[in-house]
Structure 1
Amino acid sequence: MEGFEIKITNSNKGKGLFATKKYDPGDIILEEDPIVSCQFAWNAAYRYLACDHCMRPLETPERNVRRLSCKSDIVLPHADCVEMNLDEATGCDDCEALYCSEFCKQQAYVTYHRSMCHDSLDALHPMTVVLEEWKQMHYPPETTNILLLIRILAYINQNSDPAAAAAKIKQFCHRTVNEDAELIHKLLGEQFAIQLNRLRELTAAVIDGDYIQDFLTPEGFCALMALVGTNGQGIGTSPLAMWVNAVSELTMSDDERKQINLYIDKLYQYVEEESGTFLNTEGSGLFELQSACNHSCSPNAESSFPYSNHRIQLKALKTIMPGDEICISYLDECMIQRSRHSRQKELAQNYLFKCWCERCTSQAADPDVTSDEDMSEDEPDDVD
């Protein structure tokens, strides 16, 4: 690996990603495809058209915004600034899985799809049953992905060296049984023990094999579910976002730029009124290198998906020197701006750790109140 290495940290964080050369702000640290990835179950159920392997959109920006806004008369200006290559789209010969290219179709088949291919119209097929059961347990927004878990097991089964593939996956499992159960409680709710066992039984009916038996025990399945919940990297692709980004790169006058920005704002308003925030093709993936990045509330790097598919890019936000740990934020843009107490609460609930990054350490003396409480304290008292 050129420019970085994975090694054990000097704290309780376990592994971390460390620079072996200098990176300036904007430099690309790494790019990688996931071991496996897939759409969320509800996202796929609502027919968000995307490649079943790489999640590349399979509809034009114009068709996308018409569907999301329920306005069939929308005509996007500069529609030709986005190249979709939808002519290369293809499908599985035996099921409804769609792919952006023959390459993705073949990659999916040799990696995991051979073990999972099924008739989606067969309501009694084990794959259909587990997906329907999952959707009843886990309504949007989904924070983990049962289909990703099954693809991980299929990846092990279909690997030319299944023992090595199983060992690679087990490297992600590092929590205690109690920590795993605590996280699954968070993901599934009060009935998590019953639901987890039901999901385990249904998953075992979908896929079986000598090298995945450890993952189908109660403890192993809990660990695998926790793995997907904490290491699954969210992936979002959107034809509309592709068009917006492409239009922003076009040369135009100040007046034209103002008009197009107003038009874009109006489009998003239409979409929000009809579809809410559920506007992207969303899913998750398991990345071998990127998953080694630990969290910081003052990150020196960030992850993005610049190719409108599941290929991730890690880019430096600050100057990173050889020996520095490369850290990203596990929190979204809104949460990262909140108080130390709010950030710590979110990280404890969703990732089961207490952050001791430089920013949190410097704010250790701050009062233990949430950002909402901070805001309410700043508001004047009501006057009768």
Structure 2
Amino acid sequence: MDGFEIRTSNSKKGKGLFATKKYDVGDVILEEDPLVSCQFAWNAAYRYLACDYCMRPLETPEQNVRRLSCKPDIVLPHASCFDINLENVTTCDQCGILYCSEDCKQRAYEAFHRTLCYDTSDAQHPVMVLLETWKQMHYPPETTSVMLLVRILAFIEQSSNPSAAAATVKQFCHRTVNEDAELVHKLLGEQFTEQLNTLRELTANVINGDHVEQFLTPEGFCSLMALVGTNGQGIGTSPLALWVNSVLEITMSDDERQQLDLFIDKLYQYVEEESGTFLNTEGSGLFCLQSACNHSCDPNAESSFPYGNHRIQLKAIKQIMPGDEICISYLDECSLQRSRHSRQKELAQNYLFVCWCERCLSQASQPDCTSEEDMSDEEIDADD
């Protein structure tokens, strides 16, 4: 690995990603495709068309904004500066699932689809039953998908070396049973035990075999669910966002720029009024290198998806010197600005650890009070 290595961080964190060379702000540290990725179940249900392998959206920016805003007459200026090529879109001959290209179709078949090809119009098919059960347990906004777990199992079953594939997956399973139970409880709600058992049985109806049997025991399934919860990296792709990024690079007069900025603001206003903040094609993936990045509330790197698919890019947002640990934030920008107590609470609930980053240590004397935003959320929950 050029420029970084994975090694033990400390007794609290376990392994981490460390720089072996200097990175300046904006430098690309790594790019990586996931082991597997998957669109969220509700995201697909709301007609966010995407390649079933790489999650590339299968609509143009103009089609995207028209659908999200419910305004079929919107015309995007400078549409030619970014356009998604839909000429190579293809389908599985058996089930009709969409792919952005023959290459993705073949990759999916080799990775998991040979095992998971099914008739999407058959509501009683085990995959459809599992998906519908999951959706009724876990309403949007989703943070993971049970189908990511199923694809992991299919990846193992279809591998030319299933034992090695299982070992690769198991390297992510590092939580204790009690911690796993806390995590799955957070994912699925208070009826955790019954729900987990139901999902395990329905998953076994979809895929089973000697190589995945260890993951379909109660303990193994709990561990696998914890894996997708703690190590699953959120993926978001948006034709509209890619178009916006492209037009911002165009050279134009100050007046033209001002008019364009106003137009873009109006677009997002239309979309928010109709679709809320639910405007991206969203899913999650399991990344071998990316998952080695530990969290910091004062990160020196951040992840993005610049290619409009599931390929992740990790960039330096601060200068990183050889020997420094490369850390990202597991929290979104809004949560990152909240109090130490609020950040710790969210990390404990979602990722099962107490943060000991330099920022948290420097704020250790702060009172354990909840941010105003959290208090508002809790008051709403109490009212419900």
TM over 0.5: yes
Secondary structure, aligned partner of 1:110: helix
Mapped partners of 2:375, 2:354: distance in 1? 24
Unaligned runs of 5+ in 2: 377-384
Mapped partners of 1:47, 1:119: distance in 2? 18
Q: Which residue of 1 aligns with 2:169?
A: 169
Q: 1:62-211 residue pairs with structure 2 within 5 A?
A: 62-211=62-211
Total equivalences in the alignment:
376
| 8 Å Cα contact 2:29-2:315 kept in structure 1 | yes
Report how far residue 97 of structure 1 moved: 1.2
Q: Which residue of 2 aligns with 1:338?
A: 338
Whichever residue aligns with residue 112 of structure 2, its letter is: Y
Report how far residue 33 of structure 1 moved: 0.1
Mapped partners of 1:215, 1:231: distance in 2? 16
| 8 Å Cα contact 2:215-2:224 kept in structure 1 | yes
Mapped partners of 2:227, 2:72: distance in 1? 42
Mapped partners of 1:140, 1:80: distance in 2? 34
Mapped partners of 2:226, 2:199: distance in 1? 13
Cα distance change, pair 114–374 in 1 and its aligned pair in 2 (3 A)? closer
Mapped partners of 1:83, 1:66: distance in 2? 15
Report how far residue 374 of structure 1 moved: 10
Secondary structure, aligned partner of 1:327: strand
Whichever residue aligns with residue 84 of structure 2, its letter is: M
Q: Which residue of 2 aligns with 1:55?
A: 55
Q: Which residue of 2 aligns with 1:306?
A: 306
Q: Which residue of 2 aligns with 1:324?
A: 324
Mapped partners of 1:60, 1:154: distance in 2? 31
Whichever residue aligns with residue 130 of structure 1, its letter is: L
Mapped partners of 1:65, 1:143: distance in 2? 24
Whichever residue aligns with residue 298 of structure 2, its letter is: S
Whichever residue aligns with residue 213 of structure 1, its letter is: E
Q: 1:38-53 residue pairs with structure 2 within 5 A?
A: 38-53=38-53
Mapped partners of 1:373, 1:70: distance in 2? 31
Mapped partners of 1:36, 1:185: distance in 2? 24
Q: Which residue of 2 aligns with 1:379?
A: none
Secondary structure, aligned partner of 2:302: strand
Is the aligned partner of 1:356 residue 2:360?
no
Secondary structure, aligned partner of 1:271: helix
Q: Deviations over 1:60-100 (max 9, x none)?
A: 11111111111111111111111311101111111131111
Is the aligned partner of 1:13 residue 2:13?
yes
Mapped partners of 1:331, 1:11: distance in 2? 22
Secondary structure, aligned partner of 2:327: strand
| 8 Å Cα contact 2:61-2:84 kept in structure 1 | no
Secondary structure, aligned partner of 1:331: coil
Cα distance change, pair 240–374 in 1 and its aligned pair in 2 (3 A)? closer
Report how far residue 342 of structure 1 moved: 0.9
Whichever residue aligns with residue 237 of structure 1, its letter is: T
Q: TM-score scaled by structure 1?
A: 0.96
Whichever residue aligns with residue 208 of structure 2, its letter is: D
Q: Which residue of 2 aligns with 1:370?
A: 370
Mapped partners of 2:349, 2:156: distance in 1? 30
Whichever residue aligns with residue 267 of structure 1, its letter is: L
Whichever residue aligns with residue 30 of structure 1, its letter is: L
Mapped partners of 1:274, 1:195: distance in 2? 33
Q: TM-score scaled by structure 2?
A: 0.96
Q: Deviations over 1:276-297 (max 9, x none)?
A: 1111100000000000000000
Whichever residue aligns with residue 273 of structure 1, its letter is: E
Q: Deviations over 1:15-41 (max 9, x none)?
A: 100111111111111000000001000
Q: Which residue of 1 aligns with 2:276?
A: 276
Q: Which residue of 2 aligns with 1:288?
A: 288
Q: Which residue of 1 aligns with 2:236?
A: 236
Mapped partners of 1:182, 1:375: distance in 2? 22
Mapped partners of 2:97, 2:120: distance in 1? 9
Mapped partners of 2:111, 2:375: distance in 1? 50
Secondary structure, aligned partner of 1:318: coil
Q: Which residue of 1 aligns with 2:34?
A: 34
Report how far residue 317 of structure 1 moved: 1.1
Cα distance change, pair 373–127 in 1 and its aligned pair in 2 (3 A)? closer
Mapped partners of 1:161, 1:304: distance in 2? 31
Mapped partners of 1:251, 1:32: distance in 2? 32
- Which aligned runs of 4 or more in structure 1 are off by greater than 3 angstroms? 373-376
